[in-house]
Structure 1
Amino acid sequence: MFIRRCPLWFVVLLFFLLGAKADQPADRIIGRWQFPSKGSSVDIYRQGGLYFARVAEVDQAGEQNFGLMKDSLLIRDLRFDGEVWAGGRLIHPKTGISLSAEVEMSRPQVINVTIYKGIKLLHRKFIMTRQEKH
């Protein structure tokens, strides 16, 4: 009965706001994140229901040691399961090896990225920090 009395624009706005609020926990990961060396960074963004990481800035060490290239896609297809962003794939820029990727937010300004091939027991973990906006 309430919906019949409300103008259509109000109902559409209400559904939009409720839908946007549902995405907020997963969207906390969106932004620019710096690698531990602080010289290179990635932009994490959402496309549909999946999250991706594209290289934003590259320092000399990132280019030489890891083969990072500006604007290249580093991580693809992360899905938020309510606690972590999992199921993603990282393509190592230097070797081309495909690795599983998982991201966990330990604090609003810190994410733990875990990459592994095959079983998670044999993994590499690194911490990235949110880059402040200037």
Structure 2
Amino acid sequence: MKKIALTCFAVLLAFCLFAQGNDPIIGKWQNPSGEGKIEIYKKGSKYFGKLYWIKDANKKDEKNPDENLRSRKIQGLEILTNFTKNGDTYEGGQIYDPKLGKTYSCKMTIKGKDKLDIRGYMGVSLLGRTETWKRID
């Protein structure tokens, strides 16, 4: 009985790792300026991204509209929140720009195996800008 349970656990773990590995957005990405590195991951059925490295690790969230959050460090912030997958596009989420202290609607689109277009916008997608992030190891 113990062997069966252990085998089932191993198969389930392998399946989860395989399924996660097949999701092309999961992983580490670098913004075009090279000032930040973002790790995208899945929580439940949604996708999120954390700014796990920035050039100035001590930089604070000084532009945040909430005064109580201005003393927190930018490194470690979850800047991508609540995305759902729709083919090669991840939509319905938001991106926080710590340089401006603003949160925008956002969609992300996979472009090949190592490029990710990030489009932040207000209202409609036409009123925004796109930057391309590069996958890193």
Which TM-score applies when normalising by structure 1?
0.73
Unaligned runs of 5+ in 2: 64-72
Is residue 2:47 matched to residue 1:42?
Answer: no
Distance 1:112 1:81, change over 3 A: same
User: Counterparts of 1:91 and 1:58 in 2: how far apart (Å)?
Assistant: 15
Partner of 1:71: 76
Aligned length: 122
Is residue 2:124 matched to residue 1:128?
Answer: no
- Pick the structure with greater CA Rg: 1
Unaligned runs of 5+ in 1: 1-6
Residue 125 of structure 1: SS of its match in structure 2?
strand
Distance 1:28 1:14, change over 3 A: same
Is residue 2:55 matched to residue 1:59?
Answer: yes
Please tell me the root mean square deviation across aligned C-alpha atoms, in Å. Answer: 2.9
Is residue 2:114 matched to residue 1:118?
Answer: no
Whichever structure has more helix as a proportion of its residues is 1
User: Please, which of 94, 103, 118 is the counterpart of residue 98 of structure 1?
Assistant: 103
Residue 119 of structure 2: SS of its match in structure 1?
strand
User: Counterparts of 1:37 and 1:95 in 2: how far apart (Å)?
Assistant: 16
Which TM-score applies when normalising by structure 2?
0.72
User: Counterparts of 2:40 and 2:10 in 1: how far apart (Å)?
Assistant: 27
- Aligned-pair identity in percent equals 22
